[in-house]
Amino acid sequence: MTRKWPRKEIGGAIQAQLESAQAKIVDVGYGGLKLAFENQRDLPSVFDVTLPTAGITVTAQRIWAHQSMTTDEFLCGVRVEIDPTLASPWREFVDSVSAGGGLS
């Protein structure tokens, strides 16, 4: 599967809320996120991700999930579906948290 947009690592820990679970955003792009959980999760194929620092909730479609080979974290890659009214705030969030600035 080829990504439509590149992803960049987050320049710090950004927390996300997935229904009742807490996660950390590992990398971000205009079309998706990589999330890390402390414990393995049984994630549904589609779920909401709330980004408290940005005040945005997006719908995420799970693409892959597996245990990290280097840490105790459980990792999950998702594609995000952005409501048209959130397109600008989402892009601003991605640009603001991407290490080294915005994506091209």
* All domains in the chain, ordered by first residue: 8-97 (2.40.10.220)
Report how far residue 43's alpha carbon sits from residue 11's, in angstroms, rounded to the nearest whole number. Answer: 26
Model confidence pLDDT, tens digit, residues 7-17: 777 766 678 87
pLDDT value, residue 104:
42
**For the chain, which residues score pLDDT lower than 70?**
1-6, 11-13, 40-41, 98-104
* Residue 37: both structure tokens together: 């959980």
Looking at residue 64, its pLDDT comes to 92
Residue tagged 């909730």 (tokens): 57
> How far separated are the first and last CA of the chain, in Å rounded?
20
